[in-house]
Amino acid sequence: MRVTFLGVRGSTPAPGGEFLRYGGHTSCVAIAHDGEVPSLLLDAGTGIRRTSSLMNGEPFRGSVLLSHLHWDHLHGLPFCDATDRLDSRVTLFVPDQLDGSDPLEMLSRGMSPPHFPVRADELRGDWSFVSLSSSVMDIEGFTVVVEEIPHKGGRTYGLRVSDSSATVVYMPDHCPSALGPGPDGLGEYHEDAMSLCENADVLIHDAQLVREELEAEGYFGHAAAEYAVELARRAHVSRVVLFHHKPDRVDDELDALAGRFDGTPLVTVATQNTVIDL
């Protein structure tokens, strides 16, 4: 399994020289079987535009899973050359909001005039729109476990992606403090998060905040980096990647974030373009 980080920023893109080393594109992670081009994309933030660089000139033929429907996780969708072309094939999994809307209708609430000139069903290529809910599915040759996790403003899912070689867990937006302070004041290590993470090779987790910001800013629905590291420890995860960086956290501050965990093995601060081979 090959995991490529195409966008690692949270909330809104962060352009400018002070964000160059870690990257300013919003959430998107590409997953490929060994020796193949990616067939699974997790989220469609502005980082999805970089998918084309991995495709060797070929169209994307695979699936895109949206963890939730906030703008920063889907506003790259109509700008990706690899998916928006006549010869692409895309199955887009859209989180079910339990209000009776079908997935295309749900997506079109934000991607249609007057909010955007192109409707989702006007994207070029062969597109299918499928509801995503808590389940276990076979998608593009991967086993994907989907569990709802707490986050502000609409249903949000954590994803556990496995093949015969490795397991990667993706929780870019997670607000465990919504369930209470937990044993260390960072939020509850709740059953769904623990089951998703148990014995995974890599956990890609929301680290938009740090401990001292949680009281003032946890209201917006995010976790502290310290929570992600402790969750990984409790769930026996081999490696944790701190992800979904605060949009105004500059490179030097992300260096300092990495420094908080110098003594903790296999803690990584997500960097755009990083590739992990498992």
Euclidean distance between CA atoms 152 and 225, whole angstroms: 18
Three-point CA angle 243, 107, 45, nearest 5°: 25
Q: Which residues of 73-95 are buried (b: 16+ CB within 10 A; e: fewer)?
A: bbbbbbebbbbbeeebebbbbbb
The pair of three-digit structure tokens given for residue 38, joined into one six-digit string = 């990616």
The rounded radius of gyration (Å) of the Cα atoms in the chain is 17
Sort strands 167-171 and 275-277 into parallel, antiparallel or unpaired: unpaired
Euclidean distance between CA atoms 181 and 184, whole angstroms: 7
Helix segments in the chain, DSSP class H: 103-108, 191-197, 214-217, 225-234, 251-259
Read off the pLDDT band of 100 (50, 70, 90).
confident
Sort strands 267-269 and 275-277 into parallel, antiparallel or unpaired: unpaired
**Of 209, 278, 273, 269, nearest in space to 4 by CA:** 273
Instruction: Write the pLDDT tens digit of every residue in 105-119.
Output: 999 999 999 999 999
Give, rounded to a whole angstrom, the gap between the first and last alpha carbons of the chain. Answer: 5
* Helix or strand run (H / E) with residue 273: none
In words, the CATH class of domain 2-277 is alpha beta
Distances, alpha carbon 71 to alpha carbons 30, 184, 250, in Å: 19, 31, 21
Read off the pLDDT band of 187 (50, 70, 90).
very high
This prediction has a pTM of 0.97
Amino acid at 10: G
173 pLDDT higher than 90: yes
Q: Output the pLDDT for position 84.
A: 97
**Of 80, 75, 91, nearest in space to 54 by CA:** 80
Q: Output the pLDDT for position 128.
A: 97
- Summarize the confidence of residues 94-105 as an average pLDDT: 92
Q: Output the pLDDT for position 265.
A: 78
Amino acid at 37: V
263 pLDDT higher than 90: no
Q: How many CB atoms lie within 10 A of CB 252?
A: 10
**Of 88, 49, 93, nearest in space to 69 by CA:** 93
94, 63 Cβ separation under 8 angstroms: no
Domain residue extents for the chain: 2-277
- Summarize the confidence of residues 8-34 as an average pLDDT: 97
